[in-house]
């Protein structure tokens, strides 16, 4: 097992030109590399001093690739993100700093059974990776496995903050997505799922991903736009350009 003390920390992904940052008050964030079995996994999170955490993450249950957050950031979350209040959803997740495309974020939770749709939960289905390679694909292919369902990952009671990423409304679009790279073991205690930003996300913009077509209706909730003046959500391309035709009407708006 590799420990933090035995590995030389890698160069921070939160780099900055000191003079430029002092003048403009900005933080330059670089996208992290994927976590793999081939090299030690450095914590993906940004610290409060706007530098990348240097801790090398250890395996927790003998899994091939650990959830790429250290013990501290499993409890507190990535400081590049922040949870804020929302008048409809209760809470939502926004960028604390400008994020680049392909910035990596981990969703994680305790593995268990799926709750009924009438109960409030933020779980995600779990498809455990290969116990040695950590891959979610069939051997020698890029085809994702869909026949190894192993319950859900429930973030309740953990430090996960990605659970508060919103589902975009009818006039909005997603700016993060799942890569279907999972971490953990089959029937294990905890697991995780990788998400990446699919475009640059400005500071104070909501992080949004598609929950699925049946999520709203199964809960008896009418789909609506969720962006606010202070914390906007990315607009659909047609909404950004009103000259485009076939723009569907908004159902409701906050």
In a domain, 29, yes or no: no
58 near 4, Cβ under 8 Å? yes
Query: Along the 254 residues of the chain, how does pLDDT read in single tens digits?
Result: 333 333 334 444 444 334 344 444 678 899 999 999 999 999 999 999 999 999 999 999 999 999 999 999 999 999 999 999 998 888 999 999 999 999 999 999 999 998 776 666 789 999 999 999 999 888 888 888 889 999 999 999 999 999 999 999 999 999 999 999 999 999 999 999 999 999 999 999 999 999 887 777 777 788 899 999 999 999 998 766 554 443 343 333 33
pLDDT digits (tens, 9 = 90+) for 176-196: 999 999 999 999 999 999 999
Cα→Cα distances 16→44, 49, 52, 241, Å:
17, 12, 11, 34
In a domain, 174, yes or no: yes
In a domain, 187, yes or no: yes
In a domain, 28, yes or no: no
Strands (E), 12-142: 41-42, 56-57, 81-86, 90-95, 104-112, 124-125
In a domain, 18, yes or no: no
58: closest CA among 77, 72, 78?
72
Number of domains in the chain: 1
For position 231, which CATH number holds? 2.170.270.10
In a domain, 104, yes or no: yes
In a domain, 65, yes or no: no
pTM exceeds cut of 0.75: yes
- Parent domain of 175: 71-241
Strands (E), the chain: 41-42, 56-57, 81-86, 90-95, 104-112, 124-125, 152-154, 176-183, 190-197
In a domain, 221, yes or no: yes
43 near 70, Cβ under 8 Å? yes
**CA gap 153, 160 in Å, rounded:** 11
Beta strand pairing call for 190-197 and 176-183: antiparallel
């Amino acid at each position: 097992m590799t420990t933090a003390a035995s590995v030389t920390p890698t160069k921070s992904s939160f780099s900055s030109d000191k003079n430029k940052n002092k003048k403009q008050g900005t933080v330059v964030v670089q996208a992290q590399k994927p976590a793999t079995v081939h090299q030690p996994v450095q914590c993906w999170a940004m610290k409060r001093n706007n530098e990348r955490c240097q801790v090398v993450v250890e395996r927790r249950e003998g899994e091939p690739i650990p959830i790429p957050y250290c013990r501290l950031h499993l409890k507190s979350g990535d400081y590049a993100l922040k949870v804020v209040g929302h008048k409809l959803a209760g809470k939502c997740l926004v960028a604390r700093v400008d994020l680049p495309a392909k910035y990596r974020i981990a969703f994680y939770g305790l593995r268990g059974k799926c709750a009924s749709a009438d109960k409030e939960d933020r779980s995600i289905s779990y498809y455990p990776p290969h116990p040695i390679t950590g891959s979610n694909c069939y051997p020698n292919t890029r085809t994702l496995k869909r026949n190894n369902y192993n319950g859900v990952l429930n973030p309740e009671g953990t430090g996960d903050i990605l659970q508060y990423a919103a589902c975009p409304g009818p006039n909005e679009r997603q700016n993060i997505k799942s890569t279907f790279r999972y971490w953990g073991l089959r029937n294990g205690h905890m697991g995780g799922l990788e998400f990446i930003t699919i475009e640059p996300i400005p500071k104070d913009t909501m992080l949004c991903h598609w929950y699925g077509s049946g999520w709203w209706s199964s809960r008896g909730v009418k789909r609506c736009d969720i962006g606010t003046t202070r914390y906007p959500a990315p607009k659909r391309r047609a909404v950004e350009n009103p000259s485009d035709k076939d723009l569907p009407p908004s159902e409701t708006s906050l």
